[in-house]
């Protein structure tokens, strides 16, 4: 799938990321955590090919990321940026259909996929609306549907990168968004998602990468990463970690 090997990113004289090794697996969600400025969005930019690392390499299906033709890469790799916006009054379904541009499956197939992606993102009721009339949270769900449509139905060999997809959403839609992402992974896609909410990460992710000052502070299963000591070191937070009374995953409580 998508792999980073000893990746380093510099901005001028400053080293923003260093020594990053990770591999995204089919059917799995890797959550990326870290304080503001830890390098999370920089990592996503490098993984998506937005910019080249200063050292190390990115491999998609064992092939250097920069060797992929852009159209072919877009059929395998989709990115939901932290801020996705449009300044034109496209209808919602037209925005989602932009995700189908790398494909050539025909209007009927594309229209069906757009409908399915909107349903997965809990945004079917927005069909026919102007994008400019939507709230921030509604726009976020439309862009989620767009990237889902780009890789639909999320089979093995597809990689989805999400930068804080729940940031503008109310609690209900935070969960429905991550449930949609979970379903996408269960169909075989590999997913990386940047999150700030530790308890959402605990519930929906399979593995976690905790970044601190541009380095991989800790990487591994959710239970191994969500521990008081590494969270204190990365965030400066004093926390209790308990078991969710029904689901059994870690539950992080700030003291």
Query: Quick one: DSSP state of residue 101?
Result: T
Q: For residue 189, is pLDDT > 90? A: yes
Q: Are 16 and 172 in contact (CB under 8 A)?
A: no
pTM of the model: 0.95
Using one digit for the tens of pLDDT, what is the confidence trace for 73-86? Answer: 999 999 999 877 77
Q: Is the pLDDT of residue 101 over 90?
A: yes
d(CA 46, CA 17): 10
Residue ranges and CATH numbers for the domains of the chain are 2-254 (3.40.50.300)
- The arithmetic mean of pLDDT across residues 231-255, rounded, is 95
Does residue 98 have a pLDDT over 80? yes
Q: Contact 71/12 with Cβ under 8 angstroms?
A: no
SS3 at position 50: coil
3-class secondary structure for 123-156? CHHHCCCEHHHCCHHHHHHHHHHHHHHHHCCCCC
Q: What are phi and psi of 7, to 5 degrees?
A: -80, 135
Work out the average pLDDT over 47-75: 93
DSSP state of 170: -
Per-residue pLDDT tens for 16-33?
A: 999 999 999 999 999 999
Mean pLDDT value across the chain: 94
């Amino acid at each position: 799938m998508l792999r980073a090997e000893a990746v380093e990113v510099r901005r001028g004289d400053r080293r923003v990321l260093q020594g990053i090794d990770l591999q995204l697996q089919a059917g799995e969600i890797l959550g990326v955590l870290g304080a503001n400025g830890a390098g999370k969005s920089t990592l996503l930019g490098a993984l998506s090919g937005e910019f080249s690392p200063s050292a190390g390499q990115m491999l998609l299906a064992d092939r250097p990321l920069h060797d992929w033709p852009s159209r072919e890469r877009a059929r395998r790799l989709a990115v939901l940026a932290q801020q996705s916006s449009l300044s034109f009054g496209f209808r919602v379904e037209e925005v989602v259909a932009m995700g189908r541009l790398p494909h050539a499956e025909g209007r009927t197939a594309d229209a069906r996929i757009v409908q399915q992606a909107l349903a997965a993102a809990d945004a079917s009721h927005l069909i026919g609306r102007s994008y400019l009339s939507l709230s921030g949270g509604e726009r976020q769900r439309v862009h989620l549907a767009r990237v889902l449509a780009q890789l639909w139905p999320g089979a093995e060999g597809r990689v989805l990168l999400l930068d804080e997809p729940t940031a503008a959403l109310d609690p209900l839609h935070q969960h429905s968004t991550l449930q949609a992402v979970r379903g996408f992974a269960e169909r075989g896609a590999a997913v990386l998602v940047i999150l700030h909410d530790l308890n959402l990460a605990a519930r929906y992710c399979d593995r976690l990468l905790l970044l601190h000052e541009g380095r991989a502070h800790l990487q591994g299963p959710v239970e191994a990463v969500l521990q008081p000591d590494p969270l204190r070191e990365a965030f400066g937070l004093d926390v209790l970690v308990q078991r969710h009374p029904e689901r059994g995953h870690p539950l992080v409580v700030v003291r």
